Amino acid sequence: MNLTQKILSRHVVRGELVAGKEIAIRIDQTLTQDATGTMASLQFEALGCDAVKTERSVSYVDHNTLQMGFRNADDHRYLQSVANKYGIVFSPPGTGICHQLHLENFARPGRTLVGSDSHTPTAGGVGSLAIGAGGLSVALAMAGEPYMLAMPKVVNVHLTGKLQGWAAAKDVILHLLGLLTVKGGVGKVMEYTGPGVATLSVPERATITNMGAELGATTSLFPSDERTREFFAAMGREDEWEALVADEGAEYDEVIEIDLSTLEPLAACPHMPDRVVPVRELAGLKVDQVAIGSCTNSSYADLKMVSMLLKDKLVSTGTDLLIAPGSKQVLSMLVAEGALTPLILAGARLLECACGPCIGMGGSPNSAGVSARTFNRNFEGRSGTQDGQVYLVSPQTAVMLALRGEFTDPASWGTPPALPQLPDEVPSIRHLFIFPAENAKDLSISRGPNIVPLEQFTKLPEQLEIAVQLVLEDDITTDHIMPAGPQITALRSNVPAISEYVFSRTDSGFVSRMKEAGQGVIVAGENYGQGSSREHAALAPRHLGVKAVLAKSFARIHRANLVNFGILPLMFESKEDHAEIQLGDVLSIPCSQIVPGGSCSVLKNGSEQIKVMNDLTEKELDIIQSGGLLNYVRQSIER
- The region of 91-99, 384-392, 475-483, 540-548 touching ligand F3S under the rule CB under 6 A is 91-99
Instruction: Please state the separation of Cα 357 from the chain's center in Å.
Output: 17
The minimum distance between CB 59 and ligand F3S, in angstroms, equals: 14
117 binds ligand F3S (CB under 6 A): yes
- The region of 160-168, 244-252, 353-361, 505-513 touching ligand F3S under the rule CB under 6 A is 353-361
Per CB under 6 A, the list member of 119, 227, 559, 604 interacting with ligand F3S is: 119
- The region of 72-80, 351-359, 424-432, 482-490 touching ligand F3S under the rule CB under 6 A is 351-359
As a whole number of angstroms, the distance between CA 256 and CA 276 comes to 18
385-407 burial code (b ≥16 CB/10 A, e <16) = beebbbbbbbbbbbbbbbbbbbb
- Asked if residue 250 lies in contact with residue 33, where contact means CB atoms within 8 angstroms, the answer is no
Instruction: Please state the separation of Cα 178 from the chain's center in Å.
Output: 22
Closer residue to ligand F3S (CB): 273 or 628: 273
Closer residue to ligand F3S (CB): 376 or 394: 376
Binding mask 558-587 for ligand F3S (x = CB under 6 A): ------------------------------
Closest by CA to 507, choosing from 471, 475, 531, is: 471
Per CB under 6 A, the list member of 157, 359, 538, 623 interacting with ligand F3S is: 359
Closest by CA to 169, choosing from 146, 199, 124, 194, is: 199
Closer residue to ligand F3S (CB): 124 or 541: 124
Query: What's the DSSP call for residue 493?
Result: T
Give how far Cα 455 sits from Cα of 42, 44, 68, 145, Å.
Answer: 10, 13, 28, 21
As a whole number of angstroms, the distance between CA 292 and CA 396 comes to 10
- Asked if residue 26 lies in contact with residue 13, where contact means CB atoms within 8 angstroms, the answer is yes
The minimum distance between CB 415 and ligand F3S, in angstroms, equals: 31
Q: Which residues are within 8 A (CB) of 183 and not within 5 positions of it... i.e. 6 or more apart?
A: 215, 216
Instruction: Please state the separation of Cα 155 from the chain's center in Å.
Output: 21
The minimum distance between CB 27 and ligand F3S, in angstroms, equals: 20
- Asked if residue 18 lies in contact with residue 54, where contact means CB atoms within 8 angstroms, the answer is no
User: Which strands form 153-160's sheet, in the order they lie side by side?
Assistant: 219-221, 188-193, 153-160, 254-259
The minimum distance between CB 375 and ligand F3S, in angstroms, equals: 6
User: Which strands form 389-392's sheet, in the order they lie side by side?
Assistant: 276-278, 266-268, 389-392, 370-373, 289-292, 320-323, 349-350
Closer residue to ligand F3S (CB): 193 or 294: 294
Per CB under 6 A, the list member of 355, 468, 551, 568 interacting with ligand F3S is: 355
Burial of 564 (0-12, 13-18, 19+ CB in 10 A): buried
Per CB under 6 A, the list member of 228, 364, 374, 376 interacting with ligand F3S is: 376
Per CB under 6 A, the list member of 294, 299, 307, 493 interacting with ligand F3S is: 294
The minimum distance between CB 301 and ligand F3S, in angstroms, equals: 17
Binding mask 19-58 for ligand F3S (x = CB under 6 A): ----------------------------------------
Closer residue to ligand F3S (CB): 85 or 99: 99
- Asked if residue 34 lies in contact with residue 75, where contact means CB atoms within 8 angstroms, the answer is yes
Per CB under 6 A, the list member of 61, 97, 136, 551 interacting with ligand F3S is: 97
- The region of 97-105, 460-468, 482-490, 618-626 touching ligand F3S under the rule CB under 6 A is 97-105
- The region of 42-50, 229-237, 354-362, 555-563 touching ligand F3S under the rule CB under 6 A is 354-362
User: What is the contact surface with ligand F3S in residues (CB under 6 A)?
Assistant: 62-63, 97-99, 117, 119, 294-295, 355, 358-359, 376
